[in-house]
């Protein structure tokens, strides 16, 4: 848990930070008519799960598919005419690239975007569709960033950092102002954090407005547990880079916090918690099914934290909550994999292995048990060869679709009742 200042120290903390509420209000004025004022959707399903009202700030429905256009536009709109003529350069795996490209097109600025070689093809195509030149370089975003900075140094193009600049942070912070206007009674705001620009900006907006209103608002960041640079950095009170970053949430797969966001987050943010990959997958499926919203894994981390009870485990009581769904740009192939993982994590897709006697009718008997318990077989594989098998035995592997963990247990119990020993391979 970070050590956010007490109420009487809050204004002092705000005064010494590199981004203030006035800068965010100026950013909001710049963005008026440029970005969507995204809706705040009430989630009855999450409210039932959490035990308190939950609202979803749908930045996945923002122009270019994420919040990134806010900061990118503010940064670029404030460039001098000479800087605009030199053009801009940026690096990103997707969302920042599209945000910069869209802002550049609107402002009439030439944009060059470096993207890692593994960037999703739909994100590359979307960036090009906005008029930017895309250069594929490096194995990860850090290598692409280095190439972009080198290009800026060599050509004079303005480097637009994805999170480590006051104007970027101020632009992202406009989301905080909108949340308070749309949901004045909000008590807790939760969102994902990678480099930290979004969390830092929203924290400034919410904490400053809370001070003006004489009330308290909790601001909580969420990271994927395999890409969580903030908890160790906050514990050490210094930037602690990660050796490796591996997560399906590519939008927050950042191995080192930004210097400016870190300065703000350690002062203002109440906590930064982590969630598992399975929790991310379950959250994405939950949002698809229950809210009819397509959200990328990085945008679903806040919902994952609520569904997993991560906030309560960290000591926070259920309260009126808003969750920022930061983006919806997801490669369909990744979505397929995440949905499959999410269904498995929710107990709705299980793989079962059993040993059978190799005799006629045995498979039909198993199929009847499964069908009578309202489960669906999607794949069957069997083998008679293997060191674990005796003469006359066969090993069978079955993929099943069920209605959830409890239903899966009913099916397994029915198989056990008939003398089988089903072993779940993906549970």
Q: Which sequence positions are flagged as catalytic?
A: 68, 326
Phi-psi category of 44—alpha, beta or left, where left has phi over 0 and alpha has psi -120 to 50? alpha
**Which residue matches tokens 């997993």?**
308
Assess contact for 138 and 172: CB atoms under 8 A: no
Among 333, 202, 170, CA closest to 270: 202
Assess contact for 55 and 189: CB atoms under 8 A: no
> Edge-to-edge strands of the sheet including 349-357?
376-383, 393-401, 349-357, 423-424
Helix, strand, coil share (%) of the chain residues, nearest 5: 50, 20, 35
Task: Write the DSSP assignment of 237-302 as a string of letters.
Answer: TS----S----S-GGG--SS--HHHHHHHHHH-SEEEEE-HHHHHHHHHHIIIII-----GGGGHH
Among 19, 391, 419, CA closest to 202: 19
Distance in angstroms between the alpha carbons of the first and the last residue of the chain:
31
Type and span of the H or E element at 223: strand 218-224
Pairing relation of β-strands 111-115 and 133-136? parallel
Report the DSSP beta bridge partners of residue 191.
Answer: 221
Assess contact for 17 and 265: CB atoms under 8 A: no
């Amino acid at each position: 848990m970070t050590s956010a200042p007490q109420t009487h120290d809050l204004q002092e903390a705000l005064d010494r930070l590199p981004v203030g509420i006035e800068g965010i209000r100026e950013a909001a004025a710049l963005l008026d008519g440029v970005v969507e004022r995204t809706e705040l959707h009430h989630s009855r399903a999450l409210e039932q799960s959490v035990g308190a009202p939950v609202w979803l700030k749908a930045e996945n429905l923002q122009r270019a598919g994420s919040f990134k256009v806010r900061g990118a536009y503010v940064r670029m709109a404030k460039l001098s005419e000479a800087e605009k003529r030199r053009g801009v350069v940026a690096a990103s795996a997707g969302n920042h690239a599209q945000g910069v490209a869209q802002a550049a097109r609107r402002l009439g600025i030439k944009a060059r975007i470096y993207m890692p070689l593994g960037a999703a093809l739909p994100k590359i195509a979307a960036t090009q569709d906005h008029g930017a030149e895309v250069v594929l370089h490096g194995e990860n975003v850090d290598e692409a960033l280095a190439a972009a900075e080198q290009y800026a140094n060599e050509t004079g193009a303005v480097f637009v950092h994805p999170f480590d600049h006051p104007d970027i942070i101020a632009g992202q912070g406009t989301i905080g102002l909108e949340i308070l206007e749309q949901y004045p009674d909000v008590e807790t705001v939760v969102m994902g954090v990678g480099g930290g620009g979004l969390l830092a900006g929203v924290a400034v907006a919410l904490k400053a407005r809370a001070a003006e209103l004489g009330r308290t608002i909790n601001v909580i960041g969420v990271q994927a547990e395999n890409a969580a640079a903030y908890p160790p950095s906050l514990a050490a009170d210094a930037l602690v880079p990660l050796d490796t970053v591996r997560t399906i949430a590519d939008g927050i797969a950042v191995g080192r916090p930004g210097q400016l966001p870190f300065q703000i987050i350690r002062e203002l943010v109440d906590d930064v918690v982590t969630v598992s990959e399975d929790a991310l997958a379950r959250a994405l499926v939950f949002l698809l099914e229950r809210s009819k919203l397509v959200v990328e894994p990085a945008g679903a981390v806040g919902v994952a934290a609520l569904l997993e009870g991560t906030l309560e485990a960290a000591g926070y009581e259920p309260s009126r909550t808003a969750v920022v769904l930061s983006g919806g740009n997801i490669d369909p192939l990744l979505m397929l994999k995440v949905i499959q993982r999410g269904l498995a994590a929710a107990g709705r897709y299980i793989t079962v292995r059993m040993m059978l006697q190799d005799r006629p009718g045995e498979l039909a008997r198993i199929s009847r048990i499964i069908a009578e318990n309202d489960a669906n077989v999607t794949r069957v594989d069997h083998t008679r060869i293997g060191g674990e098998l005796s003469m006359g035995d066969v090993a069978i592997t079955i993929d099943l679709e069920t209605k959830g963990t409890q239903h899966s247990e009913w099916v397994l119990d029915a198989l056990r009742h008939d003398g089988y020993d089903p072993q779940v391979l993906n549970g």
